[in-house]
Amino acid sequence: AQSVTQLGSHVSVSEGALVLLRCNYSSSVPPYLFWYVQYPNQGLQLLLKYTSAATLVKGINGFEAEFKKSETSFHLTKPSAHMSDAAEYFCAVSEPGNTPLVFGKGTRLSVIA
Amino acid sequence: KAGVTQTPRYLIKTRGQQVTLSCSPISGHRSVSWYQQTPGQGLQFLFEYFSETQRNKGNFPGRFSGRQFSNSRSEMNVSTLELGDSALYLCASRGDSPIAKNIQYFGAGTRLSVL
């Protein structure tokens, strides 16, 4: 069975500092991996996706993530945090084919001025 | 292209009642999935419909049901509501070509409060 572990339910960074949100996954087959962001009272917005192409994936709003098979990780990074990045971030995994997404518990990112 | 549309955005019901939520997918998408989001359990998969047939099902009781219409719009029904059903219900749609790569697009959700 697939699973996702997000280390840290809450991460706080200063404006302009590096953002690093951690995600480890478990899957019996090569997975598809996703990061979604959720702002208060909104749905999930797709930030980026890994679907077996390049291992370094660039997404929207300056975010990127690197798929590391040996570490079963898909950590999300952004070089410089902005106040508007404050939100909840979810890592998700699925198997190729018509399978549902399995989500991590989420990481709430706070950005301090 | 319009995104995934969910109605209503907010609902307040009392225990024992039933509720119906609606979801219109992105134009051309035939797959619609439903997820429940709660602070305790996080995001959990309810079910997926494709071309009016349930294709996948999560681990929820039979009080949770759904259907899909020929225009791909989907409804989710919860009968005999319990306090624990209070949650944000999210609908997602995706394309069904291989190039779609299982990418799901979410609506804004329906927040259900059970009193």
Residues B27-46 pLDDT 10s: 999 999 999 999 999 999 99
Angstroms from A9 CA to nearest CA on chain B: 12
Q: How far is CA A66 from the centre of its chain?
A: 10
Does A43 reach chain B within 8 Å, measured CB to CB?
yes
Reported confidence tier of residue B101, pLDDT bands at 50, 70, 90: low
Angstroms from A113 CA to nearest CA on chain B: 27
Q: What pLDDT is recorded for position A37? A: 97
Lowest mean pLDDT among A55-59, A89-93, B17-21, B89-93: A55-59
Contact A43 B107 (CB under 8 A): yes
Angstrom distance (rounded) from CA B21 to CA B32: 13
Note the pLDDT tens digit of each residue in A15-67.
999 999 999 999 878 889 999 999 998 999 999 998 877 889 999 999 999 99
> Smallest Cβ distance to A100: which of B56, B103, B106?
B56
Angstrom distance (rounded) from CA A64 to CA B76: 35
> Alpha-carbon torsion A97, B111, A89, B84, what sign?
negative
Q: What pLDDT is recorded for position A27? A: 85
**Which residues does A2 contact at the CB level (< 8 Å), separation at least 6?**
A25, A26, A27, A28, A31, A93, A94, A95, A102
Angstrom distance (rounded) from CA B54 to CA A95: 18
For chain A, what percent of residues have pLDDT higher than 70? 100
Q: What pLDDT is recorded for position A71? A: 92
Concatenating the DSSP letter of every residue in A28-82 gives SSPPEEEEEEE-TT--EEEEEEESSS-SEEE-GGG-EEEEETTTTEEEEEESS--
Name residues 1-60 of chain B within 8 A of A (Cβ): 4, 6, 31, 33, 35, 42-43, 45, 48, 50, 55-56, 58
Angstrom distance (rounded) from CA A84 to CA B15: 38
Residue of A nearest to B97 (CA): A97
Residue of B nearest to A35 (CA): B103
Angstroms from B3 CA to nearest CA on chain A: 11
Q: Tell me which residue has tokens 């998408």.
A: B29
Does A36 reach chain B within 8 Å, measured CB to CB?
yes
Average confidence (pLDDT) over B57-84: 97
Q: What pLDDT is recorded for position A60? A: 94
Residue A111 tokens read as 């950005």
Angstrom distance (rounded) from CA A93 to CA A3: 7
Selection from A14, A15, A8, A17 nearest residue A89 by Cα: A8
| Chain A partners within 8 Å of B56 (Cβ) | 98-100
> Smallest Cβ distance to B42: which of A41, A44, A106?
A106
Q: What pLDDT is recorded for position B97? A: 76
